[in-house]
Structure 1
Amino acid sequence: MLTKASNDLAKSKQLVGLLKQQIEQGNTELSEELDKANERISMLSEDLSDANARIYVLEVALTQAESDNSELRAEVSRLHSKADDYEKANALLDIADKAQVDYKTIIEVLLHRKFAHNSDMTNLLNGVLDTSDAEVNELGLDGLKKKI
């Protein structure tokens, strides 16, 4: 019985030794896996911070692009209105070419119609009629009105 107990004790010690060895091996494997996981977490954290930095740079670039886009839209709008003005001027130029007149002639006609009247009152208002003239002094303002 003592040998049996001794054998059982030896088997138990052997099993305990094997279990300790398996536990140590499991702990070593778990420790290695934990180290690998921590390295992976560290790399992912670095990748995440890099991605966040790139996102920030892209957001800044997007904001700048939106600002530039707004400025360009305003410039395009201004250029469209200028183009409309040029189209109108070209249409007037075509009309003037068809009528065989130039801008100088058009301006002279407009100035003549606006300022050249045979009216003494118009000449007086335009400063052409001399107020020191004897006839103007004789008639006075009321007389000039009646004469006109």
Structure 2
Amino acid sequence: MGIELGSTTDCTAIESTFSKETGKLFFSQKEKIGTSSVIRAFPLGLDVYYGGDSWTYIDVQLDGDSKVFYIAFVSSYESLDKAKEKFDAMSEQLHQKYGKGNNNGEQLIFWTDNTNSVGVYYEESSAINGNDRCFCTMYYTNIALSDAFEESNVPDI
């Protein structure tokens, strides 16, 4: 999609890059989380197609230096069964590409080379407006940048 783990970017560049890569217009919301920020990019109109399937929106998390350490493609559903169907399909697709994954329970599978990680999971949660929803998420994360973010956001006791 044109955004790389470890690259430096901002909200405007994310919208522009996604629009250029997909031919769709995107709008985004930015939320501060500790020393990082999450850019949630929504395609205008229909879902965005990536990795062999369609997704409702994309989250890009930036550290305090605006470096990308997490990218997530998210689909939203009204039932957990639909989210699990997507999880099963994406797990199989990633299995074909990367080989046997690491299962961390029934709802998460991931692959890693100890530098970056890719995975897919599903869950029941709430949408931004508070409605109960179910989600399937395929993510990419840079482990070193993610660990540094986690370490810098541990509250003092």
**With structure 1 as the length reference, what TM-score do the two structures score?**
0.14
Indicate the structure whose relative CO is greater, using CA pairs within 8 Å and at least 6 residues apart: 2
**With structure 2 as the length reference, what TM-score do the two structures score?**
0.14
Which has more radius of gyration? Answer: 1
Q: Which has the higher helix share?
A: 1
